[in-house]
Amino acid sequence: MTSNSFHLAVMPGEGIGLEVMEAAATVLGAVEKRFELSFHQEHIPGGAHHYKETGAILPKDGLERAGKSDAILFGAMGWPDIRFPDGTEIAPQLDMRMAFELYAGVRPIRAIPGVPPVLAHERWKDIDLVIVRESTEGMFASRGKGEIIDDKEARDTQVITRKVTEQLTDFCCKLARNRRETRGTPGRVTLVDKANVFRSFAFMRKVFYETAAKHPDIDARHHYIDAMALDLVRRPWDFDVLPTENLFGDILSDLGAGLIGGMGFAPSADIGAAHGMFQPSHGTAPDIAGKGVANPTAMILSVAMMLDWLGERHGSSAARDAARAIELSVDHAFGTMNLRTYDIGGRHGTRHIGNTIAELIRNGQADPQ
Ligand code: ATP
C-alpha cells in the first residue's frame, strides 16, 4: 500500500549529533512541504550524558518506541569521558544494530562535486562505491564477551554465520542491481575478506559465492582486506558494492570517508529485514561540539537514504523524489554555489549548510528532472 505519511523516531544524541540533526530537520521540513510528505517525529533522548544523568543509556521504553517507528533517524551518541564502570564506551547505536538485527551497514562513498579532491587524480570525481559493513556479527560478536585469562592472555572470537552472510550477499546483489539501473554503475559485488588465513573468512567466501550464484546478472568477486586498503587509495573509482565483515567495514568506511573529504560527507544506513536506522558515519566529535562548525552533509545525506528506503518499502515515489532532490541540492550547493564547510577549510557553519540546502529544495532549483 502506498503511503506518504511516516512515523520517525528521531534520536539526535549528543555532541555534534544535536547540531547536525537540527540542520537535517530543516531539510526534512523543506522536503515535507515540497513533496507533500508528512512526518510524525517522535524524539527519543539517549547517550552518554543521558547515562550520567539517569543511569540508563536510553529511556526504559526507548528501544521499543524506536522499534515501532517507520524509520529511525539517529545523530551521534557517546562521549570519551563518560564510560561504563568497566571502561567501555557508551554506544547505544551498537546495541540497536543488534536488537533490530540491522545486518547491513550501508556506507556510500561518493565524490561530491566541488569538495576539494583528496587524491590528485583526474578520476577522483568518479568515486561512487558503497561499503556494506556487516553489523551484527564478525569481531563485534565478542563485544562485552571477550576474556582476559590470568592477566596473561586476552581473547575475542569472531563469528560468521551462514544466515547473515546469505542475507548480506542478497542485499548487496540487489543494491548493485538497483545502482546499475539508477546510476549506471557496473553491477559488481566484491567481498572483502581474509580467506587466505582464517577459516571463518573462507566460510564467508564460500557462502558468498553460493548465494551470489542466485544472482547471475551480478558480477561477484573477492578482494583481500589488505589489498583493498591499498586499492581504495590507488583506484577507488574501480569499485561498486563492497560487502565485508564488521570490523573490516568499520575501518574501511573511515578510509572511504577520508577519500571524499572526511567524516562530515559520509552518510550511512543500518538496514535489517524489519527496521532501518539512518545516521552519519561520524561520532559526537567532542573537539568541535557546541561551536556550530560541524558539517551536517553526512546527516542530511542520511536523511536522503532514509527517504529512499521508505519510498521503496512503502511504494512512495514522492519519498524517492525527495531523496533525489536532497542529493542534487547537496551537489548543487557544493558544486555550483561554492558552499565550503569548516572541515574542508571553509567558513560555512552547520546552520548555514542546512538552511542553504533547504532553500534549494523549497525553490526547486535542484529538482530531479
Ligand atoms: P566514534 O568512535 O563515535 O565513531 P570518533 O571518535 O571516531 O567517533 P568522530 O566523532 O567520528 O570520532 O570524529 C573524529 C573527528 O573528525 C572529530 O573529532 C572531528 O574533528 C572530525 N569530524 C567528525 N565529524 C565531523 C563533522 N560532521 N564535521 C566536521 N568535523 C567532523
Ligand 1 pocket mutation pick from 20, 79, 143, 263 by most atoms within 8 angstroms of CB: 263
Give the residue carrying C-alpha cell 558468498.
208
Give the residue carrying C-alpha cell 551497514.
105
What are the pocket residues of ligand 1 if the criterion is a CB atom closer than 6 Å to any ligand atom? 16, 20, 78, 263-264, 282-285, 287-288, 294-295, 298, 343
Single out the residue of 91, 191, 212 nearest to residue 138, CA to CA.
191
CA terminus-to-terminus distance, the chain? 26
Q: Which residues of 170-184 are buried (b: 16+ CB within 10 A; e: fewer)?
A: ebbbebbbebbeeee
pLDDT at 1: 62
Name, in order, each residue with C-beta under 8 angstroms of 81's C-beta and a sequence gap of 6 or more.
none
pLDDT at 285: 97
Contact in structure between 332 and 297 (CB atoms under 8 Å): no
Q: How far is residue 288's CA from residue 277's CA, in Å, rounded to a whole number? A: 24
| Residue 159, φ and ψ in degrees, nearest 5 | -125, 125
Single out the residue of 99, 100, 79, 98 nearest to residue 90, CA to CA.
79
Query: Ligand 1 centre and the CA of 287: distance in Å?
Result: 8
Ligand 1 pocket mutation pick from 279, 288, 348 by most atoms within 8 angstroms of CB: 288
Single out the residue of 369, 359, 368 nearest to residue 29, CA to CA.
359
Which atom of ligand 1 lies at the shortest distance from residue 285's CA? Answer: 10
Distances (CA, A) of 106 to 156, 203, 234: 25, 22, 22
pLDDT at 22: 98
Segments in the chain below pLDDT 50: none
pLDDT at 366: 72
Domains of the chain: 1-111+265-369 (3.40.718.10), 117-260 (3.40.718.10)
Query: Ligand 1 centre and the CA of 108: distance in Å?
Result: 17
- Which protein residue's CA is at the shortest distance from atom 1 of ligand 1? 283
Q: How far is residue 279's CA from residue 300's CA, in Å, rounded to a whole number? A: 9
Name, in order, each residue with C-beta under 8 angstroms of 363's C-beta and a sequence gap of 6 or more.
none
Query: Ligand 1 centre and the CA of 76: distance in Å?
Result: 10
Full 3-state SS string of the chain? CCCCEEEEEEEEECCHHHHHHHHHHHHHHHHHHHCCCEEEEEECCCCHHHHHHHCCCCCCCHHHHHHHCCEEEEEECCECCEECCCCCECCHHHHHHHHCCCCEEEEEEECCCCCCCCCCCHHHHHCEEEEEEECCCEHHHHCCCCEEECCCEEECCCECCHHHHHHHHHHHHHHHHHHHHHHCCCCEEEEEECCCCCHHHHHHHHHHHHHHCCCCCCEEEEEEHHHHHHHHHHCHHHCCEEEECHHHHHHHHHHHHHHCCCHHHCEEEEECCCCEEEEECCCCCCCCCCCCCCCCHHHHHHHHHHHHHHHHHHCCHHHHHHHHHHHHHHHHHHHCCCCCEHHHCCCECHHHHHHHHHHHHHCCCCCCC
